[in-house]
A and B are shown apart, each in its own frame.
Chain A
Amino acid sequence: MSLGGAFEKARAEGRPLIVGCMPAGFPTVGESIASMIAMVESGIDVIEVELPYSDPVMDGPVIQKASDIALANGVRTRDTFRIIEAVAETGAPVALMTYWNPVERYGVDAFARDLAAAGATGMITPDLIPDEAGEWLAASDAYRLDRTFLVSPSSTDARIAMTLRHCRGWVYATALMGVTGARDAVSSEAPDLVARIRAIDPEIPVGVGLGVRDGAQAAEVGGYADAVIVGSALIRRVLEAPDREAGLAALRELGADLAKGSRSAQR
C-alpha cells in the first residue's frame, strides 16, 4: 500500500498511523526482517527502516547501539534494500530513514532507483535539508518516491513553508529539541509545531517523532498528529530481550499497545 493510501484509510477511521522504526540488519539481516514483520502483525501501520550509519548525529544511544550492532555484523546498503523488499511484501508501507552520506556514496539516482524497486514508499532524511537536496529532489521525482524532510520547533515559519513545499507524502515533525530516545513525558512543543505546520499547509500529513514509548503516549500524540513515530522504545525491547523469541514477543506486545493507543486517540 502507498503511504498516502494508508493515511487516507487511517483518517477515515479517525485515528493516527503508528510508524515503527527499526535499523536494517539489527542484529542480523534475517532477525531484523522477522522483527519488522512482527511489528506489522502486531498492528503497527508503517515500518520505518533505518539504514545503519557510523555517525548518526540525530540518534540517541539506543538506536546508535542497535545500528552499531548491525554494522559490526556486516550489514551493507544492499542488505537494506533486501530487507525493505521482504517487509514490503507484507503489504505495509515501508519508508527508509537514512543519513545522507550512504546515499551519496551509492549514487543518488541509483539509490532512488533501487529503493523504489525494493518497494519503499520514500525516504526520510534527518541530515539533508531541502537547501542541499537538489539531486535528491530530481531522483525522487524520477522514481516517484515520497521525500520526507524534518521540521523542528526551532524552524521559522518561512523555513517550515519552504520545507513543506519540498516534502511529498508527509512531513516529519521532531517533537522536541534533542536526539531520539523514549522519554517519560511527551513534548509540549509538538502540538504548537503541528499547529504551525497545519496553518501553512492543512493537507500534508504530519508525523511526530522523538520520545514516544507506549500506547498512552501514542494516544496523546495521535490526538493532534497524523502519524506517531516510535523507534527507541521498540528497539529497546529487542536489545533487552534474553533471546530472539522473547524479543519478538516483546515487540508484539508493544506493537499491540501502540496500535491500541492509536485507536483511542481523541481527534
Chain B
Amino acid sequence: MTAPALPDLAGHFGRFGGRFVPEALVAALDELDAAYRSAKADPAFQEELGGLLRDYAGTPSLLYSATRLSDRLGARILLKREDLNHTGAHKVRNVLGQALLAKRMGKRRVIAETGAGQHGVASATAAALLDLECVVYMGEVDTERQALNVARMRMLGATVVPVTNGSRTLKDALNEALRDWVASVQTTHYLLGTAAGPAPFPEIVRDFVGGIGTEARAQCLALTGGLPDAVAACVGGGSNAIGIFHAFVPDEGVRLHGFEAGGDGLETGRHAASITGGSTGVLHGARTYILQDADGQTVESHSISAGLDYPGVGPEHSWLHDTGRASYTPVTDREAMDAFQLLCRTEGIIPAIESAHALAGAAKIIPALREELGREPLVIVNLSGRGDKDVHTAGAYFGILDENETIVPEENL
C-alpha cells in the first residue's frame, strides 16, 4: 500500500480532520503549524528532543517477549513496554515534544486536559523540567477516580482545575481547556494530549509518539528477523495506537488492530467505542467518528478506564478505519479486566486498564489469525502505560479493596 502523505495541507485525512474551531484560535493554530514545520527541519530541535527522550524519558522502550503470556494465548506476544517510560506511559514522548515547541514559540504557560491523569502528570512533569507554568483541566469525576494522579500533578507544581460542566469527564476537560486557550492564546500553548483536535494537533501528536512504532518495528526485526503479523493497541483518543501503527502503515502484511472501550457492551449504549459504535461528526475541532444522538448532541461515554472514556477519536484512525488499513473492535470492561489479571499473573506486570484493552483484543484475534496463517502468529501489543494509577479501580473491581479503599480480608474473596 502506498499511503498518501496525510494529512494534507489543510489538515485533512481524507474526509476527516480539519479545523472546526472559533476563528480566535486560527492564528494560534497557524503559529503552531509554522513552529512545528520549522522545528521538524531543525537538527538542533531534533537533537534536544532526542536527548530528552533518551536520557530523561528512558526510550527506546523495551520490546519484551512475553513467554508465559504467549503460551497462554497461543501466539508469540511481544510487549512494547511504554509502561517503563518516565511518568509511566507513552504520553511523555508527546509532552516533551510539545513543551519544547511551546518554548520555541516563546510561550511560558501550558494548559492540558486529562482523563486518567497520565497526560496531566506527563504535562506537569515536562513543565517542571522546562520551567513552564502548567494548568491541567480534569473532569471532576476523574479527579475523584484518579486522586493519586491529582496529587502527583500538584507535587510537580501544576494547578489542577476540576471541571464541573457536563458529564465532568475528559470531554468536558477538553472543552474547558479550549475555552482557556481562546482567552490566552498569546501567552499559552495548549498541550493537547491525544492525536485528536484541530489541525495540526493530530499530525504533531502522531509524529511525537511515532517513535513507538519506529522502535518496535526495528526491535522486532532485530529480535525475530521479520515483521509482526499484527500490531494491537487500545484506542481512546488514539495517541498510543497511532504512535505504534504509523511506522507499520506501509507494511501491507502487518495487520493493525485498534481496540476501543466497549464498556458494558455496545448493545447497552454504555461504552466509549467511537468508531464501532458511533458515527461521523464534528467534535473538539475535527471531523471524525463520535458518539452522538440523532440531533448531533454528544453522548456521554462510559468505560472502566478513565483514559479511554472519551466520545471521540483522532481523525487519522477514522481514515484508517474507512480505508480498511486498520480494523477497530470493541472490548468490554469485563474482557479488559480479565486480560488485566492475566498479565499480572503470567508476567508480573500490572498494566494500565487502557493497555489491558489491547491485550484482551489481541487474545480475541489470535485464534482466527492462527487459522488464517496456519502457524503461531507474531503479535506486538502496545503496553501503553502501567497500572499504578488504576490500582484502586482494579482493586475495587476484583473485590480486593472495598468502596472506602480498605483491603478486603482474603477469606472474603
Contact = CB atoms under 8 A, between A and B. Distances in A.
A53 B395 CA distance: 37
Contacts of A150: 22-24
B283 A152 contact: no
A127 B22 contact: yes
A54 interface: yes
Interface in B117-154: none
Give the bracket for the number of chain B residues in contact with chain A: 35 or more
Interface in B160-214: 165-166, 171, 175, 178-179, 182-186
Contacts of B22: 57-58, 126-127, 150, 152, 174
A58 B281 contact: no
A179 B26 contact: no
Nearest to A153: B24
Interface in A208-254: none
A40 to B, nearest CB: 27
B166 A151 contact: no
A174 B23 contact: yes
Given A154-B27, A155-B27, A156-B27, A71 B185 contact: no
Chain B contact residues, majority secondary structure: mixed
B93 interface: no
Given A101-B283, A159-B26, A54 B298 contact: yes
Nearest to A176: B183
A174 B27 CA distance: 14
Given A177-B183, A178-B183, A179-B179, A55 B23 contact: no
B296 A105 contact: yes
A34 to B, nearest CB: 23
Interface stretch (B13-21, B267-275, B403-411): B13-21
A150 B290 CA distance: 25
A57 B179 contact: yes
Give the bracket for the number of chain A residues in contact with chain B: 35 or more
Interface in A115-169: 126-129, 131-132, 149-156, 159, 163
A104 B184 CA distance: 29
B66 interface: no
B182 A105 contact: no
A129 B166 contact: no
Contacts of A127: 20-22, 282, 285
Interface in B24-65: 24, 26-28
B309 to A, nearest CB: 15
B67 interface: no
A231 to B, nearest CB: 15
Contacts, number: 114
B222 interface: no
A177 B21 contact: no
Contacts of A131: 10, 18-19
A101 B282 contact: yes
Contacts of B294: 105
A57 B28 contact: no
B297 A57 contact: no
A177 B186 CA distance: 9
A104 B296 contact: yes
Contacts of B296: 53, 77, 101-106
B282 A129 contact: no
Given A106-B296, A174-B24, A132 B183 contact: no
Nearest to A179: B179
B199 to A, nearest CB: 10
Given A178-B183, A179-B179, A100 B282 contact: yes
A48 B100 CA distance: 43
Interface string A66-79: 00100100001100
A101 B295 CA distance: 9
B281 A57 contact: no
B232 to A, nearest CB: 31
B104 interface: no
B299 to A, nearest CB: 8
A200 B380 CA distance: 57
A177 B24 contact: yes
Nearest to A65: B165
19 contacts: A55-B175, A57-B22, A57-B178, A58-B182, A61-B165, A76-B295, A77-B295, A101-B282, A101-B296, A101-B298, A104-B282, A105-B294, A129-B19, A129-B23, A131-B10, A132-B19, A154-B186, A159-B26, A177-B185
Given A64-B165, A100-B20, A155-B23, 14 more contacts: A55-B283, A57-B179, A57-B182, A102-B296, A104-B287, A131-B10, A154-B23, A154-B185, A155-B26, A155-B27, A163-B23, A177-B183, A179-B182, A179-B183
